[in-house]
Structure 1
Amino acid sequence: MKSHFKTLIFFLLIFLVSSVNVMAVATPPEINAEGSVLMDASTGEILFSKNPNKVLEPASTTKVLTAIITLENCDLNEEVAVKEDFTKIDGTTIGLLKGDIVTVRDLLLGLLLESGNDAANALACHISSSTDKFAVLMNKKAKEIGAVNSNFKNPSGLPNPKHLTTAHDLALIMNEAIKNKTYLELSKVMLHEIKIKNDSSRTIWVNNKNHMINKNSKYYYKYTIAGKNGYTTKANHTYTIAAENNGHILIAAYLNALDKNQNFKDMKTVFDYGFNNFYFSSMYKKGQEVDSIKVGHDLTIPLIASKDVDYVIPNEDKNNVNTRIELEHKNLKRASFDKGDVILKGTVYLNDKELCKLDLCAGTSRHYTIKEDIDYFFKDNEKNLIIGASIGGVVLLIALTLVIETRKKKKRKKRLLEITTSIPKVEDNKLKKRRRRRKD
């Protein structure tokens, strides 16, 4: 009896300890930043947040957006003539002088690794002729990305009362940046030598200041794939970073963190919270057949996903997942399309909640002609047409018979009439002869 009681107590304790651990891990982390977001890169879903839409200054995390615009508008080997000395620019610089000629790639590395404000200005002026005009491109791009609560006044992140963003917007901007393979490659460079093309006596060395990607740093986080930190006395410490674990990417962003060292620790804590407490899965892969639709009479067209559709849910819900897709109502009876064309839109649901819209592509080509309808009409109505033709034949036969009989009757009637009308004429002739004889 005692042994059974001890066994029961043992398992009860294990259960309680396990429950406590799960609760402890699942509790959202406490962080020192004023604004913060942890976002799932594939779905955009927010897994953790603290004042995610509070407008704050981004400092040098601004340079992520500057890099995005540069990569969209320039070739890495383009040569840039620097228009101002670094001594005339506030904040961190890499040491560029007016007249220096360097490549776009060198300037991007100076921008992302060393956070050079002179590199930022050089790129902005190369693309738009001035930093003010470049800011117009920045705001346009931010809106396209979905960062609608941001406003940028310069390419570097120097303090300006109107130069603002939110943790959520900053995460969206980083998520856009990591879609570019070149951006990811540049972000992982640890050390780089910039050679001044018009002055071989000068070189500039730049080091990666993203400590979480540097294996020699005490803040190294093995899942980090890209990141950019920033600081001004007004913005305090800012940071945006991307991490990948088992093929899944999370984005984190921090604004107005007072303690720089604690900020790096908080980053790890938040990423671990996301990777350990949420289940990431793929519902559809780009190119996968997700459904089919009947077109015309007997033609079935496979419907192909135009993009990956992923979802993220808390670990405790991963065994209770229901997914479905609803197709829009659209008449494709007389539509023509090629394989790969978008022909329908679908609405994807996760546990009866709308997850996303999905363009659906044709799995095969189809080119409609009126002949198709004619062929299908005869095929679908073959029995009816045979019966109709048979009935029509009988009716036609009867009609012909009636016509023939009618004509025969008319002929007989006409002949009879002719006979009838000829008899009085014969009698008249006899009477005339008799009268003549009498006279004689």
Structure 2
Amino acid sequence: MGIAKTFFVAATFLAAASSVIAGTSKFTDLPGNPDLKSASAIVLDESGNLIYGKDVDTVRPIASITKLMTAMVVLDSGIGLDEKVTITKEDRDLIRLTGSRLEYGATLSRREMILLALMSSENRAATALGRTYPGGMENFLVHMNRKARALGMTNSHFADPAGLKKENVSTAADLAKMVTAAEEYALITEATTTRRKDVYPYKGRGNLTYGNTNRLLKNASWDIELSKTGYINEAGRCLVMQANIEGEDVSIVLLNSFGKLTPYGDSNRLRKWMLANS
């Protein structure tokens, strides 16, 4: 076989192989519609290809989904995760007036504060992480928005580490980028998929038990690798996840769902639609 013919055969084989690889997702070009109730939604396969989209570029408040960015910025800084962080009056929620079981003087490691902020959406824990960042809260917010720009989140803005302010905004498309980035952090995947955690923030007192805010973690039908919920009035119910469905990793973002259970209903509708049409 001549060199030219050998090259042609090899090139044809590589092209065919690439075509097969590119089309390996069973969720490509699915027919129909999952009829989601969330105002914005996006589902991407592990290569970043669109499986489903609804109003993906509308800028919306994102509530506690913000805490994923908070955790990434803290972890990027390299500051000590075993260092003790103590809750102070500065960590109060003066915006939504939400309560907390972390009273003034509660002390946990920075690692534990990240765990509580992510798994149980603890607002004081998230605020304390920003307050104790090198350079303080102002510098922390600068780094949150700098990280967003570095990830290509061009329609996003972060205004506080807990997601309490309505000025924490993004789009479904931008948040899919954030979810993909967050999955690279082992502590984030661990924290957001931990169903229950005991901590001991007070000397001489017993434990506090925290649970995960994502009820789908209790559902055996779901294989969730990362998740975060969020809610304030302006944002509605929000949910982002990285999940494995029938052996394929997918990113799911659901924003502005009306009703406490709607994000979970939408997630199940998505999964059912994907499996029925794959």
TM-score (norm 1): 0.52
Secondary structure of 1:26's counterpart equals coil
Structure-2 residue corresponding to 1:51: 55
Which residue of 2 is the match for residue 134 of structure 1? 140
Question: CA offset at residue 259 of structure 1?
Answer: 2.4
Task: Give the Å deviation of 1:202.
Answer: 5.4
Equivalent-residue separation in structure 1 for 2:159 and 2:168 (angstroms): 5
What is aligned with 2:199? Answer: 194
For 1:87 and 1:155, the matched residues in 2 are separated by: 12
Return the match for 1:29 from 25, 34, 55: 34
CA distance in 1, matches of 2:261, 2:117: 22
Distance 1:137 1:178, change over 3 A: same
CA distance in 2, matches of 1:151, 1:86: 21
Q: What amino acid sits opposite 1:268 in the alignment?
A: N
Task: Describe the superposition over 1:336-378 as per-residue Cα deviations: whole angstroms up to 9, x where unpaired.
Answer: xxxxxxxxxxxxxxxxxxxxxxxxxxxxxxxxxxxxxxxxxxx
SS of 1:141's equivalent in the other structure is helix
Where does residue 211 of structure 2 map in the other structure? 207
- Counterpart selection for 1:170 from 175, 191, 212: 175
Equivalent pairs, count:
247
3-state SS of 1:49 partner: strand
Instruction: Report how far residue 97 of structure 1 moved.
Output: 3.0
Q: Match for 1:175: what amino acid? A: T
3-state SS of 2:132 partner = helix
- Residue 68 of structure 1 is matched in structure 2 by 72
Please give the alpha-carbon distance, in whole angstroms, between the structure 2 residues aligned to 1:276 and 1:75: 47
Q: Quick one: structure 1 residues 244 and 100, their matched pair in 2 at CA, closer, same or farther if it must change by over 3 Å?
A: same
User: Could you tell me how far 1:210 is from its partner in structure 2?
Assistant: 0.8
What root-mean-square deviation, in Å, do the aligned CA atoms of Structure 1 and Structure 2 show? 2.2
CA distance in 1, matches of 2:207, 2:97: 21
Aligned-partner Cα distance in 1 for 2:71–2:41:
22
Distance 2:115 2:92 in 1: 20
> Which residue number corresponds to residue 85 of structure 2?
80
2:107 to 101, 106, 117: 101
Counterparts of 2:224 and 2:72, CA distance in 1? 19
Which structure would you say has the larger RCO, counting Cα contacts within 8 Å and 6 or more residues apart?
2
- What is the letter of the counterpart of residue 192 of structure 1? K
Aligned to 1:117, which of 115, 123, 130? Answer: 123
TM-aligned CA distance change 1:229 to 1:80, over 3 Å: same
How far apart, in 2, do the equivalents of 1:88 and 1:252 lie? Answer: 29
1:244: Cα distance to partner? 1.0
Corresponding residue of 1:153: 159
Does residue 269 (structure 1) correspond to residue 269 (structure 2)? The answer is yes
Matched residue of 1:127: which SS? coil
What is the CA deviation profile of residues 279-309 of structure 1, one whole-angstrom value per residue up to 9, with x for unaligned ones? xxxxxxxxxxxxxxxxxxxxxxxxxxxxxxx
Q: CA deviation at 1:133?
A: 2.4
- What amino acid is aligned across from residue 243 of structure 2 in structure 1? A
**CA distance in 2 between partners of 1:275 and 1:70 (Å):** 37
Contact 1:171 1:252 survives alignment (8 Å): yes
Q: Counterpart of 1:212 in structure 2: which amino acid?
A: L
The Cα offsets for residues 168-189 of structure 1, whole Å up to 9 and x where unpaired, read as 1111111111122222122221
Aligned to 2:232: 232
Distance 1:202-1:85 versus aligned 2 partners, 3 A rule: farther
CA 75–270 in structure 1, closer or farther in 2 if over 3 Å, else same: farther
Structure 1 portions without partners, runs of 5+: 1-24, 279-440
CA contact (8 A) 2:91 2:128 kept: no
Which protein shows a greater Rg? Answer: 1
CA distance in 1 between counterparts of 2:211 and 2:252 reads 22
Tell me the SS of whatever aligns to 1:38.
Answer: strand
- The Cα of 1:78 is off from its aligned counterpart by 2.2
Give 1:231 shift. Answer: 0.8
Query: What displacement does 1:86 show?
Result: 5.7
Distance 1:275 1:64, change over 3 A: farther
Report the Cα distance in structure 1 between the residues aligned to 2:255 and 2:69, rounded to whole angstroms.
16
Aligned-pair distance for 1:147?
1.2
CA contact (8 A) 1:86 1:96 kept: no
Deviation by residue 1:30-83 (Cα, 9 ceiling, x = unmatched): 111111111123x22221111101000001111111111222223432222333
Mapped partners of 2:249, 2:118: distance in 1: 20
Say if 1:58 and 1:164, in contact at 8 Å, map to a contact too: yes
| Equivalent in the alignment of 1:299 | none
SS of the counterpart of 2:170?
coil
Aligned residue in 2 for 1:251: 251
Whether contact under 8 Å (2:65, 2:230) holds in the other structure is yes
- Aligned CA distance change for structure 1 residues 135 and 272 (closer, same or farther; 3 Å): farther
Percent sequence identity over aligned pairs? 24
Distance 1:224 1:91, change over 3 A: farther
Instruction: Give the residue type in structure 1 aligned to 2:208.
Output: I
Tell me how far apart the structure 2 counterparts of residues 58 and 139 of structure 1 sit (CA, whole Å).
14
Q: Deviations over 1:78-137 (max 9, x none)?
A: 222333266554354542233332101211121012211101111111114433321111
